Amino acid sequence: MELVKLQLDAPFAVVTIDRPECLNALSSQVYREMIAILRQVEAMDEIRVVILTGAGEKAFAAGADIAQMVGENAIAGRRLSGLCHETADLLENMRQVTIAAVNGYALGGGCELTLACDLRLASENARFALPEVSLGIIPGGGGTQRLARLIGVGRAKEMIFTGDQIDAQEAYRMGLVNHVVPRDQLMSACRALGEKIVSRSGYAVALAKSAVNSSMDIDRRNGAEREKDLLGLAFATRDKQEGMEAFLARRTPQFEDF
């Protein structure tokens, strides 16, 4: 791949958007490469955590590629939005846990990619915005949907209607990011959090991810039914037996490979 790099270090896969000369702007090619890589990684049994980041010192991704979009018509705009959504949906629903390592600007489509990840860790220099209205367009990678669910409709509307940037500490206060860490500790902090999750039952984490994701799409009553079904499914795993027996015997559980 030319614009997106994959580094495998089981149980981690690090996916890096690699166009630092234009702040990792997200062209159609970037999205296509990311989709291909995420599909490839999803099939890798040995990978449990996917860390998504941007190359260089300044940006995670400064949004969709404006130089590409400027000459495009409505059909191309819709197609681009389709690619943004496909990438975000993959990140949101893949069996692995996804962590955005936000190492600088996460604007427009870049911010939307972080919203689709399960967890977001930001370096102190990270900045978030959905600045599309300044360009005469609207967010097209799920931002109008996921931001409101994460930080509330009122704050999401202010960010989307003004396009204003917020810094990492403000993002933390809003619940937009899980943690803020010094720049040089960003990847190690992502790995430490990933290691902790990997030490838990992989089946249980995947079932929990699926249950929480359901809460975004279905009403509370049906969400509760789904939670009951998934807990029943968890009871059918060897990990449930091992986890509970280990607790009672005061030993560390040995969970199955997931």
CB of 42 to ligand CAA, least distance (A): 23
CB of 226 to ligand CAA, least distance (A): 30
Options 112, 124, 227, 242, the catalytic residue: 112
Name the residue nearer to ligand CAA (CB basis): 158 or 195: 158
The distance from CA 212 to its chain's CA centroid, rounded to whole angstroms, is 14
CB of 40 to ligand CAA, least distance (A): 24
Q: Is 112 a catalytic residue?
A: yes
Between 153-162 and 143-151, two packed helices, what is the crossing angle to 10 degrees?
130
159 contacts 105 by C-beta, under 8 angstroms: no
Name the residue nearer to ligand CAA (CB basis): 15 or 80: 80
Name the residue nearer to ligand CAA (CB basis): 105 or 128: 105
Q: What is the number of the residue whose Cβ is closest to ligand CAA?
A: 108
Q: Is 256 a catalytic residue?
A: no
Options 46, 57, 132, 227, the catalytic residue: 132
CB of 110 to ligand CAA, least distance (A): 7
Distance CA 49, CA 119 (A): 11
Name the residue nearer to ligand CAA (CB basis): 87 or 98: 87
Which residues bind to ligand CAA, rule: CB under 6 A? 22-23, 25, 62-67, 80-81, 84, 105, 107-109, 112, 131-132, 135, 139-141
User: Annotated active-site positions, please?
Assistant: 112, 132
